[in-house]
Structure 1
Amino acid sequence: MASLSTRLLQRPPQLLSRSIHTSRALSAPKPSLVPPPTALSALASRLSLQPSPAVSTSLITCLTHASYLAEQTEDANAEIDFSETSESNELLATVGNSLIGLFASEHLASLYPYLPTQALQNAVTAYVGPAACVSVGRELGVAVQGGGNAGLPGTGKGANSAGVVVRWSRTALAEKNWRENKGKAMEGLMKVPVGRRFQKFLKEQEQEAAAEAEGEARGKKQQSHEDVIASAVRSFVGLIYQEEGIHTARTFVHAHFLSRALDLSSLINLNNPLHVLSSVVSSHFASAGVPSSSSETAIQPRLLASTGTNSQAPLFLVGLFLPSGLKISEGHGSSKAMAKHRAAVNGLQSIWFTRGDQPGAEVLGIKGLGKPFGEYGEGLPSSAHEDWVYEEGKVIIGEEESEFESIEWGGKEVLPGSRR
């Protein structure tokens, strides 16, 4: 009997060799931008939704922009897989956008009851606008690397590095190009010489400009990648409302949007803050019964301190006072005009950013102030509603809705010179 070393050196059976030589080559994978079930389940968990086949189908709808289906319809050669094609997120995004605006508006209007209308609108945009939606979307793992990564196989841009891809017109064009060059992309990763990279970027810019010009000629509105991601995030909020109700949707918006720290003072840019402050003070005195023409509403600037007036770096401290001697605010600067300007800005911010949820805020005279809010919006007007407004075609009135007392918003636009 042959030894072990002799048997190891013998030629392997011909059957094994024949099976190796006759094995079929692996074909190029079919491009698909539909996330796998594991990715959809993970996304559902991040959205506080219970993973299920129905929820996965709804998530695919949220990740499908209307421009994707429109591009697929126009492409006569597109091989549309109806098992992967769903409705667009247009309806859910509209519902989600309304809910996000509602939650942000009631939160900021209750938190800062004296904030003017335009400043309130700017604050709402800063918290829940398109840029904020894109940031939240990337935190959720949606389109992490931007619009250039279509997630198609064999192009050096894998779907794993792209995150959960949103399907829109650009991805539909990428699928079309993949079908036209089928098999060529699998030969290897894209190799671009260093000296030609800038030409590639210029060519892409020219193609984008040509596409925009063509879209304008057709009368269509060009969608940017940020707008597409924002619509997907808004549709997530609409889906949460559809599946779990308004309270879960409000919790999601407060946890992901309104929990961020923003410098709202940077949203206010005034050319003549002292004039605006005078109008605001007159408006508050008029609400208390003091005539706007009274001398008690006149603001008097006073120089409180100064140093280095004969040097190259002087410093002045100016305070703004009422005739009764009450100091409104103060500010510093290298000149008296700059110090007075900063004092007026500080005075406006001290009024506009007065918080309505702090104890003792009821002395401001607005009904409902001084009540603390919950971390996720408990105590705000939307918390008094039931989870769903309609049930079997009828409007539902919650038990707390009839007894709820909201805060009267005191903010309004004060036009300089109007004193109203």
Structure 2
Amino acid sequence: MGHVSKRLYSSASKLAVSTSQLKQFPPKEAILKPDSGKPNFFDPESWATLQPPPTSALTAFAHRIGLANVLSSADVVRRACTHKSFVNLHAKYYPSSPTPPTNANLATLGNALMGLFASEHLHAAYPHLPTRVLKAAVSAHVGPLTCASVAQEMGAVPLLRWHRQPTTPTSPALLHSDALASIPRAITALVYQETSLQSARKFVKSFFLSRQVDLRSMIKFRDPKRALIETVEKFGHERPKSRLLRETGRYSNSPVFVVGIFSGQDKLGEGFGSSLKMAEYRAAEDSLHRLYLTRTPDHLLQVPSSTFPSKQGNIYKTGSEAPYTPGVLGEAEILYASSGRSNIVAPKRLTLEEIEAKREGLDV
């Protein structure tokens, strides 16, 4: 068996179905006639990419993700799994054939819907979450890598039709994960078009928003003690004070100190460490995490998009909107350690000594 034949069988084995489902295998382009005298430039990878997935695989995919009533035809599923980069490859090998429909418009609409659902859900669930952390949490839930991972779990990898593209002056390189991420976005748009906004939100919540994301690791402070002082002052509570709660091995080579931070009689947080400074640092950080990661109970969680009707129709008709009780808006995050890389010049901040002197009425 020649090198081209080996590559042909290897590429064909990566298809969604066996080669027995194809109309002709090997294809006539791969067969070299002995009397032709011309070199054969057949590309097995490109040929395997151009083969459409069978109807049975597309139908099984729709039933597997529970959207058989929405993705009712194989053409709709095939369009959702066809990336716009596939058009150039198809036109190169089949210039006279009609251009296959792609999921470009659907992916754009689905991406906007997923961003809307994730933003309102996280803002309602964590009303005190800082803006930068909220953006990072949205990307963690419905970002490109998450969409590609969900598409892989759905079993959409064999159904994807795309073509790798190198980096150009106007666009970055197209990777497999980028093309794969367009499938869940396109499906979200199809659910929205065929049913309602509520159904699309339910689909995104089931596959994306139900996942656990470690938000605690996203909140970092250079000086949590100072950030805590400004936060407590903003809410109008007493100045936080550190108290040693427990200790062991002070004069040994492995001491452990447990420090708590209190605002009046209220305990804000607790931390431990091998030194008092480390324990106080962790206690201040724990206090900020308790504030920013305060979660709204699920039975009280409501989002603005829940006002839309659950069925298709005119949303402006009287009585078509669902009841909605807006939640309490959280306080904006403190200025310290939250300005990011913006060009806004922040005002000069007072030092801890200046803040203490200002409280005592002294000139600074």
TM-score interval (norm. to shorter): 0.7 to 0.9
Report if aligned partners of 1:117, 1:411 keep a CA contact under 8 Å in 2.
no
* Aligned partner (choices 153, 156, 169) of residue 163 of structure 2: 169
2:309 matches 1:381:
no
**Alignment partner of 1:216: what SS?**
coil
**Alignment partner of 2:251: what SS?**
coil
Q: How many angstroms apart in 1 are the aligned matches of 2:307 and 2:234? A: 32
2:283 matches 1:265:
no
Provide Cα deviations, 1:143-202, integer angstroms capped at 9, x if missing partner: 1xxxxxxxxxxxxxxxxxxx32x12223xxxxxxxxxxxxxxxxxxxxxxxxxxxxxxxx
* Aligned partner (choices 255, 278, 282) of residue 206 of structure 2: 255
Pairing of 1:277-356 with structure 2 (within 5 A): 277-285=228-236, 297-322=238-263, 324-356=264-296
Q: Which residue of 2 aligns with 1:36?
A: 54
Report if aligned partners of 1:333, 1:339 keep a CA contact under 8 Å in 2.
yes
Give the aligned residue type for 1:412.
A
* Aligned partner (choices 405, 416, 420) of residue 325 of structure 2: 405
Provide Cα deviations, 1:123-150, integer angstroms capped at 9, x if missing partner: 111111112111110111011xxxxxxx
Normalised to the residue count of structure 2, the TM-score between the two structures is 0.73
Q: CA deviation at 1:402?
A: 7.5
Q: CA deviation at 1:400?
A: 5.9
Q: Which residue of 1 aligns with 2:64?
A: 46
**Alignment partner of 2:85: what SS?**
helix
Report if aligned partners of 2:62, 2:71 keep a CA contact under 8 Å in 1.
no
Q: Which residue of 1 aligns with 2:144?
A: 130
Give the aligned residue type for 2:81.
L
Pairing of 1:90-169 with structure 2 (within 5 A): 90-143=104-157, 163-164=158-159, 166-169=160-163
* Aligned partner (choices 183, 187, 193) of residue 232 of structure 1: 183
**Alignment partner of 2:290: what SS?**
helix
Q: How many angstroms apart in 2 are the aligned matches of 1:282 and 1:168? A: 55
Q: CA deviation at 1:250?
A: 1.3
Report if aligned partners of 2:270, 2:282 keep a CA contact under 8 Å in 1.
yes
Report if aligned partners of 1:388, 1:396 keep a CA contact under 8 Å in 2.
no
Larger radius of gyration: 1
**Alignment partner of 1:283: what SS?**
helix
Q: Which residue of 1 aligns with 2:36?
A: none
Q: How many angstroms apart in 1 are the aligned matches of 2:318 and 2:293? A: 32
Q: How many angstroms apart in 2 are the aligned matches of 1:338 and 1:398? A: 59
Q: How many angstroms apart in 2 are the aligned matches of 1:27 and 1:109? A: 54
2:334 matches 1:414:
yes
**Alignment partner of 1:221: what SS?**
coil
Q: CA deviation at 1:396?
A: 3.4
Q: How many angstroms apart in 2 are the aligned matches of 1:310 and 1:94? A: 63
2:77 matches 1:59:
yes
Give the aligned residue type for 2:309.
E
**Alignment partner of 1:399: what SS?**
coil
Q: How many angstroms apart in 1 are the aligned matches of 2:250 and 2:271? A: 17
Alignment RMSD (CA, Å): 2.7
Normalised to the residue count of structure 1, the TM-score between the two structures is 0.64
Q: How many angstroms apart in 1 are the aligned matches of 2:193 and 2:225? A: 48
Q: CA deviation at 1:80?
A: 5.7
Taking only the aligned residue pairs, the percentage that are identical comes to: 35
Higher relative contact order, chain-length normalized (CA < 8 Å, sep 6+): 1
Q: How many angstroms apart in 1 are the aligned matches of 2:285 and 2:61? A: 44
Cα distance, 1:252–1:412 mapped onto 2, change above 3 Å? same
Equivalent residues, number: 296
Cα distance, 1:346–1:52 mapped onto 2, change above 3 Å? closer
Q: CA deviation at 1:334?
A: 0.7
Q: Which residue of 2 aligns with 1:372?
A: 300
Provide Cα deviations, 1:78-111, integer angstroms capped at 9, x if missing partner: 45643xx422211111111111111112221111
Cα distance, 1:311–1:396 mapped onto 2, change above 3 Å? same
Q: How many angstroms apart in 2 are the aligned matches of 1:239 and 1:131? A: 21
